Amino acid sequence: MRSPADVSPAQVPAFPQPRTCPHEPPPGYDVLRGEGPLARVTLFDGREVWFVTGYEEARALLTDTRLSADRTRPDYPVLAPRFAAAVAQRLPLIAMDPPVHDVHRKLLNPDFSLKKSRAWREDVQRIVDECLDAMEAKGPPADLVPDLALNVPSRVIAQLLGVPDEDVPFFQDASRRLMQATEAGPSQAAGAELTRYLSELAGQLRKSGDGPGLMGRLAGREVREGTLSHEELVQISLVLLVAGHETTTSVISLGTVLLLEHPEQLARIRADASAVPAAVEELLRMLQVTDLAGARVAAEDIEIAGKTIRAGEGVLFSGTLANRDPRVHEAPDTFDVGRDSRSHLAFGYGIHQCIGQNLARLELDVVFRTLWRRLPGLRLAVPVSDLSLRGTGTGTVQGVNSLPVTW
Ligand code: HEM
């Protein structure tokens, strides 16, 4: 095994790397996979960081309090220039360490419990049905991204936060610009637009003392009582909006592609709807739409797998490769909807593990139960190789710009 000191910069692979197939890891990951559970990669700014590809090592490190998620730390690994923007650095929850992280998480937990998420089923089913009604009315063909994959999570988050329906198109557009901008400027501008909007909404809700959804609850109680500041509520809402939007969209669109490309696997869930929950876990494992299961910086030296992560070094968690660790999953590159893949790292692990995972699972479950029932002849209208990939090689969520389908 090579130690970082033995590796010249020219030999260290770059990160992020582009996918060439929307649902397969970048071809360059084969090399990283062969490096053992902890590899090294080079970022755009020339900095070398750790790349954790082993499943057990990832779980151990993601629960290690010596690693920090605080993006305002000067040595936090920045994946692309636009992530250096202040708006990305100061995000609550995802970019903060305890104790503040835990205070926010506790305030939000009631809205994301398994029980609460289950109570959403009827609403999610209605939203999915309405999207498919509209798609059927104007097609075939259709573009599954705007018509279903983007629409469902947007409407769910809007309802979760208590945002009026008429503002959803603005949300979809602004959050896409925030996530997808290649430069810091446009990303900051979109973040500022969303912040302004949410701030106005939070202000109205605080005055009225109530309102539907999470923002109404927090504005009416926590902000009024001073447990949470107005700015914190706005930032938390922004994080929920962005974190729950593109991710779920991509699992719906890429999941549809993966299933259509494996008709024998699709046949299993079409024959038996009770197979859908396990299939959703397998889609999450195989797709790992965030590519990374987290990014951290070491606050102290950490010994692991015969290596030393030095204080100040960046650590990236390759969910993509950890989910395909052959020590955990047999034939890890085989898509098998019947396997037990629930232990994947698609939602991360440890204190930052995705707060919206129950809701995301519910949305995916309803979509993948309903889609084939409503449109039994659904198929891609273009070859997979013609799909325009989104987010690839950018360090953000992996997906497709559009998904032409017919039925
Ligand atoms: C399939 C869809 C989703 C995927 C694949 C996903 C993935 C992830 C991952 C990998 C993390 C961990 C990041 C880290 O440790 O640095 C995370 C955290 C988070 N996710 Fe999700 N997510 C999804 C849906 C959602 C939804 C629907 C919401 C909310 C409506 C949401 C809100 C969050 C938040 C707030 C965090 C930060 C939690 C914390 O730091 O305590 N996500 N998600």
Reading the block at residue 284, the tokens are: 């999450």
At 1, is the pLDDT very low, low, confident or very high (cuts 50, 70, 90)?
very low
Mutate to test the pocket of ligand 1, among 354, 355, 364, 368 (most ligand atoms within 8 A of CB): 354
What would you report as the CA-atom Rg of the chain, rounded to the nearest whole angstrom? Answer: 21
Strands 314-318 and 48-52: parallel
CA distance 363 to 355: 14
Q: 94 in ligand 1 pocket by Cβ < 6 Å?
A: yes
| Distance between Cα 19 and ligand 1 center (Å) | 21
pLDDT at 87 over 60: no
At 400, is the secondary structure helix, strand, or coil? strand
Q: Which atom of ligand 1 is nearest to the CA of 94?
A: 40
Mutate to test the pocket of ligand 1, among 247, 253, 282, 292 (most ligand atoms within 8 A of CB): 247
Mean pLDDT of the 351-379 span = 97
Asked if residue 308 is part of any domain, the answer here is yes
Nearest Cα residue to atom 20 of ligand 1: 354
Predicted confidence (pLDDT) per residue in 145-204, tens digit:
989 998 899 889 989 999 887 887 887 788 767 766 656 678 778 888 989 999 999 999
* pLDDT reported for residue 355: 97
- Check residues 206 and 287 and name the one with the higher pLDDT: 287
For residue 68, the domain's CATH number is 1.10.630.10
Q: Which atom of ligand 1 is nearest to the CA of 104?
A: 41
At 30, is the pLDDT very low, low, confident or very high (cuts 50, 70, 90)?
very high
Q: 77 in ligand 1 pocket by Cβ < 6 Å?
A: no
DSSP 121-134: HHHHHHHHHHHHHH
Mean pLDDT of the 299-318 span = 98
List C-alpha distances in Å: 224 to 106, 296, 353: 18, 34, 29
Reading the block at residue 56, the tokens are: 């057990």
- Check residues 64 and 186 and name the one with the higher pLDDT: 64
78-87, 242-251, 365-374: range with highest mean pLDDT: 365-374
Q: 352 in ligand 1 pocket by Cβ < 6 Å?
A: yes
Asked if residue 73 is part of any domain, the answer here is yes
How many domains is the chain built from?
A: 1
Least confident of 201-215, 244-258, 280-294: 201-215
DSSP 244-276: TTHHHHHHHHHHHHHHHH-HHHHHHHHH-GGGH
CA distance 268 to 261: 14
User: What domain range includes position 82?
Assistant: 4-150+245-406
Please give the model's pTM, rounded to 2 decimal places: 0.94
Asked if residue 159 is part of any domain, the answer here is no
b/e code 87-99 from CB counts within 10 Å (16+ = b): bbeebbbbbbbee
Q: Does residue 18 have a cis peptide bond before it, meaning omega lies within 30 degrees of 0? A: no
Asked if residue 310 is part of any domain, the answer here is yes
CA distance 328 to 341: 10
